[in-house]
Amino acid sequence: MDFATLIPTLRRLALEAGDRIMQVYDSPEFEVKAKSDASPVTEADEAADALISAGLRAAYPDVVLVTEEQVASHALTAQTFLIVDPLDGTKEFVQRRGDFTVNIAYVRDGVPLRGVVYAPAQGRLFYTLAEGSSVEETGPFDKDIPGATRPLRVSTPDNGALMVVASKSHRDAATDAYIAKYAVKDMTSAGSSLKFCLVATGEADLYPRLGRTMEWDTAAGDAVLRGAGGHVVRFDDHTPLAYGKPGWDNPFFIAHAPGVELKA
């Protein structure tokens, strides 16, 4: 894979999908349907998925493409693939809270090597550069010419005063009990893959997820966090979270800055 051409392609498709999503988001009303697992899906999810899928298939016809909205058509496993969540945080989208993202990542041998996370309602765009480090672009977001960027680097955590970010829509008692094991200075909530990006920027030190997620929910944010020097590990044994698993389900996981003393 030529990362020098991959990154501009992922960036452009994420921005184009964001525009389409915001057209729906800014409309007076939109239809919300339920998928087979009872999770919500909107015309914005479907339009963004179609746009990104068409762009990736045209650019990389020989690379396996995995997307949330086309899960039934996926191969059971793959070693190298592009993975897409066209609208992560549909609940936030439906409630017009703004914490939703477009996510595209490239995975090889279980590792999300490159990715882009775009939060169109918040005007925040995060991605890995061709050489692997992560940046936040500050805009304006021209489709073909990147604007000014700032390098991302995780925090140097103080284990006596940690900054924690947790899910806005999926917070539960188990998560609260786990967070209570740490000395927490402050805690914030965020939707979608933005939580990974908050750790990548140093705005948070720790993001635990004790709930069901799929690989398309996490791969792009994982790539951005890795490119900023962070880690995403399994909750049970603290080994790196791997991708390309049968069924695309993730185990519980912890995203964190190096130096955070992880609890069992």
Strands 101-108 and 111-119: antiparallel
Quote the CA–CA distance of 122 and 233 in Å, as a whole number. 28
pLDDT in tens, 216-258: 999 999 999 999 999 999 999 999 999 999 889 999 999 999 9
pLDDT at residue 71 in the model: 66
Residue 44, CA distances (Å) to 23, 103, 118 in order: 8, 14, 15
Quote the CA–CA distance of 245 and 216 in Å, as a whole number. 12
Q: List the domains of the chain with CATH numbers.
A: 3-151 (3.30.540.10), 162-256 (3.40.190.80)
Quote the CA–CA distance of 148 and 251 in Å, as a whole number. 36
Does the pTM surpass 0.85? The reply is: yes
* CA angle at 201 for the pair 198 and 207, rounded to the nearest 5°: 35
pLDDT in tens, 137-176: 997 899 999 999 999 999 999 999 999 998 866 678 899 9
